[in-house]
Structure 1
């Protein structure tokens, strides 16, 4: 889960996101709620993971699945980099 500052702001002990949805729930578009909920559970091993084992030293790593959501600060940065690379190729 890490130390993502946006995650800390939205989902800390004061429940900012939950209180926001309680207050403005009918005015929030469903896609926004869906993307934020994907972000909430991004990188959680309870939602699935890959188990990687080194054949040489037998080191075991658990790599949790990501949400690949556009709101997620971790997942969307890769998409943005890929988009900018493709645009640079087209322009140049």
Structure 2
């Protein structure tokens, strides 16, 4: 299993070293983090709510790639350096990181067939 996690970990293109994608630094993450809770509260005040699958998309997106929400410890087979790789949300609808990964995996399967 660590081999799979190491394979999906981001790598710095210039140095080949592991680099987490730090979702909290992206503009999309910052916008959702700032405005989604207030939007959900406003909807609740009006007696409305977003569908469950939409709520899950937003909530899991905000946890995606964050070490405090779970991680794997992986070890590089060549240099023996250890890294923590945060769990992803595995959602395709909203998360750009997970959506791109799923798209690449699907394309690879189509090419192999």
**TM-score, reference length from structure 2:** 0.62
The CA distance in 2 between the partners of 1:88 and 1:53, in whole Å, is 30
Matched, 1:44 2:63: no
Query: Which residue is 1:72 aligned to?
Result: 95
- Aligned-pair distance for 1:8? 1.2
Q: Secondary structure at the match of 1:67?
A: coil
- Equivalent of 1:4 in 22, 26, 29: 26
Matched, 1:28 2:50: yes
The CA distance in 1 between the partners of 2:37 and 2:51, in whole Å, is 15
Q: Which runs of 5+ in 1 are unaligned?
A: none
Q: Which runs of 5+ in 2 are unaligned?
A: 1-21
The CA distance in 2 between the partners of 1:43 and 1:24, in whole Å, is 27
**TM-score, reference length from structure 1:** 0.74
Q: Secondary structure at the match of 1:74?
A: helix
The CA distance in 2 between the partners of 1:67 and 1:42, in whole Å, is 5
**C-alpha RMSD over aligned residues:** 2.5
- Aligned-pair distance for 1:84? 4.3
The CA distance in 1 between the partners of 2:70 and 2:43, in whole Å, is 31
